[in-house]
Structure 1
Amino acid sequence: MAADAVPPPGEHLAPHRTDRAGTRVRAAAFAVVGSVPAVSGHYAVADGVTPWRPAALLVLAQFAVAWPATRRRFSLVATLGCTLGVHIAQTESEA
């Protein structure tokens, strides 16, 4: 290995930092896109005022749950199965 092929100190950490930032962005996008339209739509149909403080807590809770999951790559079947399971759980809890 040539001496010029060795990266400068600390440069080997850059992809890891980028990946961690990417997982946070994916988890935050999932939490916001998954919670804000749901809360807004629910209260729009119910003709009520949207309670944004509890909605913000929901976003934070969903982020906390989603962030570890975004570190792994799941198959399409696993993703669809989890989505269907959550949908069924939510539907059953409203009945």
Structure 2
Amino acid sequence: METKITLGHAIRSGRRELDFSIKEFAKELEIDYRWLSQLENNRLDPQSDEVLMSLPKLAEFFQMDVEYLELLRSQTEQQELDLSQAMFPVYYREKIDV
């Protein structure tokens, strides 16, 4: 089984190596920390324009070639949030019209 490095995992690893919290890092990049969290967890569509437009800023911050981040983006797949394995299950109630 081949293990691929994803864009999100590379960003998280780089952020942690620089000893930034997610909120500190988001502030440095002038982006929302919740969006950054979704990016790090591969919850965003890697092919979206928003992700594509963030690559130059990330490459500049990490002092790396944007082409490397583009390669990671191309091999990253969006992962859906799976709450079935959550420690505290989340239950949804449908709104019932009476």
Taking structure 1 as the reference length, what is the TM-score of the superposition?
Answer: 0.25
Higher percent of residues as helix: 1
Higher Cα radius of gyration: 1
Q: Structure 2-normalised TM-score?
A: 0.25
